Structure 1
Amino acid sequence: MPKVKQSRKQFFTNILNAVGAGVVIALLPNALLGELLKFFKDGQPTLELMYQLVVIIQSFMAFIIGALAAHAFKFSGPGIVITGVSAMLGSGAVQFKGNAIVLQGIGDIINVILVVMLACCLFIILKDKFGSLEMIILPVLIPVFSGLVGLLILPHVRKVTQALGAMIQSFTDLNPLMMSILISMTFALLMVTPISLVAIATAISLEGLGSGAGNMGIVAACVTFIFGSLGVNKLGVNIVLIIGAAKMMIPVYLKHPIIMVPLAINGAIAGTLTYLIGIKGTPMSAGFGYTGLVGPLNAFARMNGEPIMNIVLLTFGYLIIPFTFGFIVHQLCKKWLPGYSDDIYRFEIPKQ
């Protein structure tokens, strides 16, 4: 019985680690270069092409996660491809429009996880069961069945996002300060999960102060994981977190839900800052934090008054105050919160 439990634990660990690494590989190119290329690409065919490539890369997130999960299970080359294709088909990112096949966003991460789990289970169970026919049967059976199941459950999985969207939308009926705090806390708590905050924000057309609060909630989440990670993870992981790609820490967060405490505190602080400074944005900017300067640039464009003063306010709002309080909150949690330590932020990089 202990062996069974251990194998189950390792199974979920492999899947979650693949999600964490896959999100970074897929989203980092656009996070680093997207906004910069968007600014300079007009009239520059090469830069336009580069911009298109970084957007396309993130659309293959499901395939990357599936391939990394299969690699963690030490599948053969064909098994890795089969799992990756299954994830891509069931993610919702690949769609038929007329007679064309198009890539639509990155898909639903929750659905990707479920499809990858199914595809990996099928490959583990069916491997070596068909002898010489394996290379004929498995590439047909696993992707088609896993992809079909994924697309059938996708509408139901998306109801989770819709329910969260309805909850966040209800916050907009409150007074501005309470709205900002609750939205910021919610975004901080959900940022490092398989939930797509961009999907939520666009679905409910979250804009103005509500969008700014969501944006600052993501900043709060990034700050929380940065200070937790600095003492236990290598330079590469910390740089990725500083850039703003905190979703890579999904496996860490799901294993240690106690991290919700500093996330909620930092989220409340960020929400208060949103109200005091008047940080605003659009539905699309709500899900980016400071990554690519999407949040600060959108907030700056919607501020009145002297530009220099606005830049100073945004510098304090996005960097100085969140990082200062993030450090203080982390130290206080380590001192007073049982079970909370630097070590829970350790990120396991999938072995080569």
Structure 2
Amino acid sequence: MQELRKYKFGDFWNRLLSGVAMAIVVAVTPGAIIAPFITGLAKTSDFWLSIYNATNMGTYIVPVAAGILAASQFNFTMIEKASVALAAFAGSGSAVYSKGTWSLVGMGDLINTILVIAIAIVVIFLIRNYVGSFSIIWEPIICGSLIGAFGMWSYTYVHLISMTVGNILNSFTTLQPVLLCILIAMSFAVIIATPLSTVGLAYAIGINGIAGGAASVGATACFMMVAVATYKVNGKGVSFAMFWGSVKMMLANFVKHPRMLLPIAVVGGLTGLTDSFIQVKNASEYAGFGQPVGPINSFTYMTGSVGTNILLLALIYFILPILYSLIVYLIFKKMPKLYCDSDWQVDLNK
């Protein structure tokens, strides 16, 4: 219990969520980037079909990987990590039992998975001093059976809430696309600059379609604004890294200077406004990604001329976000109380 108390509430959840976020990114990235390019090839031969299937299988290991990586954040032993993974898999809903057969149906409900992982970690902290050398027996039983069973029970109710939130957002983008695209894009532009995972959030609440597209272009807007803002004080290398999504390396800057999120939010809002007319779409598993994953998967939802579709994607994912970022950068430069070049300095020695 003393070991658990050394983690403050915020620190506990930051550690847990960072582990879950990394699991999602690692598991989803192969399918998000490679699968769209080999979908056609998979229909031509068993060789390409094998690569296609292997690429997409990563989704199914998210609960297990999330349990292991989250437990790693607390320096758990191998037995404890595996036990948390057992509970996460059982409670995730990624496997469904019907008529004597288990079937994998995806990564399950992420919110319920996080809930189960949190419970499993707390329980291990509570019992580890009592089970001693019998940890290899008791920890898998308690996590895999009892906590896993609780997760299977809670899944129905938590998943209902998750889907309801996602359905509301998706329906709102149909009824009022301008306002919702602005808000979603602005929110994801800011969230991706925090320790929170836009990938996990998008999947957890199940946003897709136009809402998923708005989330993706919002994340991209953050990349572009940070790339423009860091160019002068950090040089081409850092700016290029930001362009391709390495904004998390600036977490310390954002925490120290929250005002840095304001120009990011503005660019996100402008990009979302534009997207409300273009209306690119994306699935929930890709909605939290910016470019290059976002446009690759948005393309699969588009119909009509290939050339026109590529032009639209180039506009909403690259050209306009960069243009908006340059304009916002020049405007905010004239507001010293809101913008300071030194805020964007990245200390690469840390």
Using structure 2 for the length normalisation, give the TM-score: 0.74
Q: In the superposition, relative to structure 1, how do residues 245 and 303 fare at CA in structure 2: closer, same or farther (>3 Å)?
A: farther
Q: In the superposition, relative to structure 1, how do residues 13 and 257 fare at CA in structure 2: closer, same or farther (>3 Å)?
A: farther
TM-superposition CA deviations, 1:64-117 (whole Å, max 9, x none):
121112222222211111111211211221221322222222122222222212
Q: Distance in 2 between matches of 1:144 and 1:42?
A: 41
Give the SS at the match of 2:97.
Answer: strand
Alignment of 1:144-293 (within 5 A): 144-158=145-159, 159-174=161-176, 177-178=178-179, 180-185=181-186, 188=189, 192-193=197-198, 194-197=200-203, 200-201=206-207, 206=209, 212-223=213-224, 258=258, 261-262=262-263, 264-276=265-277, 278-281=278-281, 287=287, 289-292=290-293, 293=295
Alignment of 1:85-100 (within 5 A): 85-100=86-101
- 308-317 vs 284-293, which moves further: 284-293
Alignment of 1:109-128 (within 5 A): 109-128=110-129
Structure 1 residue 262: Cα displacement: 4.6
Runs of 5+ consecutive residues of structure 1 not aligned to the other structure: none
Q: Distance in 1 between matches of 2:102 and 2:33?
A: 28
Contact 1:184–1:217, Cα closer than 8 Å, also in 2: yes
Q: Which residue in the other structure is 1:325 paired with?
A: 324
Q: Which residue in the other structure is 2:50 paired with?
A: 49
Q: Which residue in the other structure is 1:33 paired with?
A: 34
Q: In the superposition, relative to structure 1, how do residues 335 and 328 fare at CA in structure 2: closer, same or farther (>3 Å)?
A: farther
How many residues of Structure 1 are paired with residues of Structure 2 in the alignment?
329
Q: Distance in 1 between matches of 2:68 and 2:52?
A: 24
Contact 1:184–1:213, Cα closer than 8 Å, also in 2: yes
Q: In the superposition, relative to structure 1, how do residues 133 and 178 fare at CA in structure 2: closer, same or farther (>3 Å)?
A: closer
Q: Distance in 2 between matches of 1:154 and 1:345?
A: 43
TM-superposition CA deviations, 1:206-265 (whole Å, max 9, x none):
45xx66545433433554676789989xx89x86x766698x89x989979957645542
- 288-297 vs 331-340, which moves further: 331-340
Structure 1 residue 319: Cα displacement: 0.7
CA RMSD of aligned residues (A): 4.3
TM-superposition CA deviations, 1:23-57 (whole Å, max 9, x none):
22212222232212223222221221122122211
Q: Distance in 2 between matches of 1:285 and 1:123?
A: 31
Contact 1:58–1:106, Cα closer than 8 Å, also in 2: yes
Aligned: 1:15 with 2:16:
yes
Q: Distance in 2 between matches of 1:151 and 1:253?
A: 40
Q: In the superposition, relative to structure 1, how do residues 164 and 325 fare at CA in structure 2: closer, same or farther (>3 Å)?
A: same
Give the SS at the match of 1:41.
Answer: helix
User: What amino acid maps onto 1:163 in structure 2?
Assistant: V
- 148-157 vs 4-13, which moves further: 4-13
Q: Distance in 2 between matches of 1:141 and 1:11?
A: 21
Q: Distance in 1 between matches of 2:226 and 2:117?
A: 26
Q: Distance in 1 between matches of 2:64 and 2:314?
A: 37
Give the SS at the match of 2:16.
Answer: helix
Give the SS at the match of 2:39.
Answer: helix
Structure 1 residue 154: Cα displacement: 2.5
Give percent identity, aligned residues only.
20
Q: Which residue in the other structure is 1:103 paired with?
A: 104
Q: In the superposition, relative to structure 1, how do residues 320 and 102 fare at CA in structure 2: closer, same or farther (>3 Å)?
A: same
Q: Distance in 2 between matches of 1:313 and 1:85?
A: 44
Contact 1:190–1:197, Cα closer than 8 Å, also in 2: no
Q: Distance in 2 between matches of 1:33 and 1:345?
A: 33
Contact 2:299–2:313, Cα closer than 8 Å, also in 1: no
Contact 1:189–1:263, Cα closer than 8 Å, also in 2: yes
User: What amino acid maps onto 1:320 in structure 2?
Assistant: I
Alignment of 1:294-313 (within 5 A): 294-298=296-300, 301-303=302-304, 308=307, 311-313=310-312
Contact 1:171–1:182, Cα closer than 8 Å, also in 2: no
Q: Distance in 2 between matches of 1:256 and 1:94?
A: 42
Runs of 5+ consecutive residues of structure 2 not aligned to the other structure: none
